[in-house]
Structure 1
Amino acid sequence: MISKNKILVVDDAKSVAGHIKGLLIPRYTAKAVYSGEEALEILPSFMPDLVLLDTVMTGIDGYEVCKRIRESGSFGFMKIIMISSRKTLEERLRGYEAGIDDHLGKPFEAEELLAKVKVFLRLKTVEDQLHELNAKLNDQVKLRTAQLLDAEKMAALGRHAAGIVHNLNNPLQAILGVTQVLAVKHPRSKDILSLETAAIQMRDIITTILTASRKQSHEHMVDIDLNQVVCEQVELFKSNQFFKHKIQVDMDLEPLPPFQGIYVHFSQCMGNLLKNGAEAMYASTTRRLSISSRQESHGITISISDTGTGISEEDHKKLFDPFFSTKPLVAEGDTPTGTGLGLAYCKEIIESYGGRILVDSKSDKGSRFTIRLPVNTKA
């Protein structure tokens, strides 16, 4: 069986080059050239693992060929064995200084040549494998470092958020109290009902953040109807005049099994995705928000699609990074703004339940966000 290793024989004596090539052919892929110039020309395309190089040649000699190979830096761990009739220590040292890996004197024994070839090809294979492993480890270190930085950002945000939301409790209780009084006086007012629903949701969000900061969020796990969460969020957004009058909402919701989780986690996620979809269509002539749910073999799938501006390939890579947003932080009028936290929060929450959030989007073609969750209902 012929090895995949490739060997280039360089010798201006065609009989010698042919003899060496003949020794190699049964085991390796070998080529022979007859000058230093030919060797330098064929190297980039042939990319041998090992070069058997004569010292004294017409034109560019072996030392110069070796020197140019090493200086180019384009041939990785390619091995070079110099085969020469010059056997003095001075000549060998000159070769090592030029960059050879070993030296073999002429005349040579075929067994010694093949043994050296085998040793240095094995060495190159190991060095290639180590280089590949090192590259993979570097990529993994970079990825893990980025993950740790993102986690630290979210942890810092959580610590600050806990302090901020604690101070929001008192004014929110006042708002909720007034809306509940108004709801009693005007029980048929949809606007007051929407205001009360929004205030209750804010209260639940604040409670969840504070509870999570005390590491007690597991106490609030309940069976959730995810379709109901979607419907409630859509109804809540209808209090927004742009959403209510300028966006067509199409819903195709199939029955789903109950999902064990914290309700406010999913109300926030659905709310963030609906908000993003609506705001992506701010400048669109066609504004259609399509929402679907399915129970599939892998679990539960919920998709939210819009006909908005879409996401560029460059922004797609950073979409779930904390604090990254394609929208400005502040803007005039009713132009959508963003903090870059909504999608990062959604990704963190969905993944904490063993799920995934996927995005399919192209510039000016709209976007589709898909949540996939495993069925986790208790038996």
Structure 2
Amino acid sequence: MESEHRILIVDDDPVNLDIMLEILASEYSCAAASTGEDALKTEKAFRPDIILLDIMMPGMDGYEVCRRIRAGETHRFTKIILVSGKSMTEDRLKGYEVGADDYITKPFNDDELLAKIKVFLKLKRLEEVDSVKRDIINIFSHETRTPLSAIVGPAEMLLENEHLDRESRELAELILQGAKQIADLVHKTTMLCRLKSGFKLRMTDFQASECLNEALRKKQREAAAKNITIKTDIISDSMITGDREALTEALTMLMENAVIYSRDNSEISVRILYEQGTAVFSVEDCGEGLDDETKSTIFGDFSITGSRRHIKGMGIGLSIVKHIAEMHGGGAEALDSECGGAVFRLSVPCKGGRL
């Protein structure tokens, strides 16, 4: 049967090949191979979505076939299910070590085999889509840097011209604001993808106040533009073992969020506390606050809330905060503030607090 899904069946026993072809050929495009060498040749030409791979074969066994396929990048999304009469735990573990995705023991149940194939076809498709998304984001990130620089630089130069008329100045400000928003979105989207794709923390020892001071330096100008006062209170300055740059980025995003949603001429309170073995960064604003539903979803990837507190940048910043906190063994939460706004807390393990 012609199908968009392709399955390669590898077994040195013709009877087993016939059985699996009878089960699968009515729903999927199938190819068969009886040796490990033939399997590798067929795999390159047939490009299967799933390989049902026997282990015990003359010459090259299934383990070696699996290892060779996984050694290349061409078919990294292909799912390999080992099919064997060997049922010992060590046999399964060896299969997983060489790159197999699953293991099914002969004799197998037809319905179980079909169910596994459907699950792994769906998983393969999701992995391929995620890979395409990451590639697009990476390309977008690289390809927009130069054009954005070409927009931001001239716009800033125009605004430095004291003789620029009012209408031209307003247009230049709109251009600069839009370019910076795109640059910010690119930065956050790229960072979120890095965090979700195996980002490795660079661990060092540092004081919690170092993150606060750097984040404050980055956001002081934006706060001043709205005449917002950022009040800091280091109740306990803890020693943290973590990625200083990543935690500073997370705290910066919490401050950015507070500045965006605070009213002009208001105050933001940033505190560092010590609570039961954790350093807690608390950022409190006096904006419009959050409803209970929003508080439970606001840290989700690309979260967009209702009309009261629409998260600019597609909610990416707060998702980044949560990922960074959890990578350090901590967490993030949103609470109500006494002034009617919101309190965002980022907590990470620390070595103890001190004044």
Could you tell me the TM-score, scaled by structure 2's length?
Answer: 0.45
Relative contact order (C-alpha < 8 Å, sep 6+): which is higher?
A: 2
Could you tell me the TM-score, scaled by structure 1's length?
Answer: 0.42
